[in-house]
Amino acid sequence: MNPVDKRRRDFLGQAAVAAGAMIAPGVFLYDYAKAAAPATPPAGPPATSGPVSAKVRWGMLIDTTKCASGCRECVDACNRENGLPGTTRPTDSQWIRKVDLKDLRSGATLSAPVMCQHCAEPPCVDVCPTGASFKRADGIVLVDRHTCIGCRYCMMACPYKARSFVHEPTTGQKTEVPRGKGCVEACTLCVQRVDRGGRPACAESCEAAGHGAILFGDLNDPQSEISKRIRSVATTQLRADLRTDNGVRYQGL
């Protein structure tokens, strides 16, 4: 064997050892994190919250088989909760869209809400020039509108068209949900509710309307309802090929 070949093989040997070492502690850490997650969330809304931690990862599971075509309950609830006008000109903000799909061959139809998918690897965060687009430790992807300059790169980068730009002066904002002209905004997973122990307005209203198509919960907690469902039924992430690892998952697509 010539010396070049030999060095190459040595390197391969080392690489194999390194990979093995990484997998073993990796597996260990994974199990440990799961064991450490609290089995049941503390009862009642917390008086104070934060700082948020990476022990939880908030997500939603949308069951398209329960989502009714033409129903806009979640969209309306989102608008009410977040003080959005709910008007539908091309330039108006939209945090949730109802999307209707039809398979042309079979004629099967499907309806589902699409909002910010709260990616683990969010492209909007990668491209943001000011750091305004960011992911909170608990997985919620947000725009810090104090640093947003309204350049809209994030809107271009988002594979889900989830973000809106505010084109006109805003009125009637709610205390918990400030919003204003010149900034990009999107679904916040209702942080103002989640931090107080609640769940997003869309999930709540969908259940109240008798559909129960939106399940909210902690993807890191193996005992949570959402984790159990994801273990037991086939779910998809939209555009999984992009490997953005979405926090919002779909069942029945």
Partner 1 sequence: MAAFRLAARAAAALLAAALALAAGPVAVAAGPKLDAPRSGPCVEDPKLMRRSHMEFLKHDRDDTVRRGVRPAKHSLAGCVSCHASRADDSVLGSDTHFCQGCHVYAAVKLDCFECHTPKARPAAVASAAGEPLR
Binding residues (CB under 6 A) for ligand HEC: these are 145-146, 176, 178-180, 183, 191-192
> Least CB distance from residue 176 to ligand HEC, whole Å?
5
> Least CB distance from residue 195 to partner 1, whole Å?
5
173 binds, among ligand HEC, partner 1, none (CB under 5 to 8 A by kind): partner 1
Structure tokens given for 125: 């965060």
> Least CB distance from residue 72 to partner 1, whole Å?
25
> Least CB distance from residue 93 to ligand HEC, whole Å?
12
Determine the Cα angle at 89 with ends 244 and 142, to 5°: 30
Give the nearer residue to ligand HEC in terms of CB position, either 52 or 253: 52
Report CA 123 to chain centroid distance, whole Å: 12
Give the nearer residue to partner 1 in terms of CB position, either 25 or 178: 178
Q: CA 144, CA 146: separation in Å to the nearest integer?
A: 5
Q: Residues in the site for partner 1, rule: CB under 8 A?
A: 48-52, 134, 136-138, 142, 144-146, 169-170, 172-176, 178-181, 183, 191-192, 195-196
Checking phi first, is residue 93 left (phi over 0); if not, alpha (psi -120 to 50) or beta? beta
Q: CA 141, CA 86: separation in Å to the nearest integer?
A: 22
Q: CA 94, CA 179: separation in Å to the nearest integer?
A: 13
